Amino acid sequence: MTEPSRYEIEIRGRATERVLHPVIDDFRIEPTECGTTRLVGEIRDPSHLNGLLAHFTSMNVEVVGLHRLAPADSRDPERTPPNPNHPTNEEDTTP
């Protein structure tokens, strides 16, 4: 059996209680400045992860990011690294 791992899941839009029902007790949930919802929590095993992704798919929720956090980040969830592909981290290319 594998050890649980900490993950960051980012979904498009502001998630409703119905969408968040399976993760409400086990994940830290934060709305982001770019209009997504960020979930950080522990995934027990691959079937747990697949179940969460299946739930989001069945609710027509778009998962825009999924990242396994490094063990150092797992000990301190407040110190998660920024997502370099996140829209808030992109350079402004307007003239």
Q: Which residues pair with 11 in a beta bridge?
A: 37, 63
- pLDDT single digits (tens) 34-84: 999 999 999 999 999 999 999 999 999 999 999 999 875 544 445 444 444
Domain interval for residue 48: 5-75
- Within a domain: 69: yes
- Within a domain: 85: no
- Average pLDDT of span 18-42: 93
Handedness of CA 50, 52, 55, 57 (dihedral sign): negative
Structure-token pair, residue 82: 């920024």
Statement: residue 90 has pLDDT above 50: no
Residues in CB range of 33: below 8 A, 6 or more apart: 88
DSSP 32: -
| CB 30, CB 37: distance < 8 Å | yes
> What local confidence, expressed as pLDDT, does residue 31 receive?
94
> The CATH number of the domain where 68 resides is what?
3.30.70.980
> What local confidence, expressed as pLDDT, does residue 1 receive?
54
Give the DSSP H/E element, type plus range, for residue 17.
Answer: helix 17-20
- Within a domain: 32: yes
Specify the pTM. Answer: 0.71
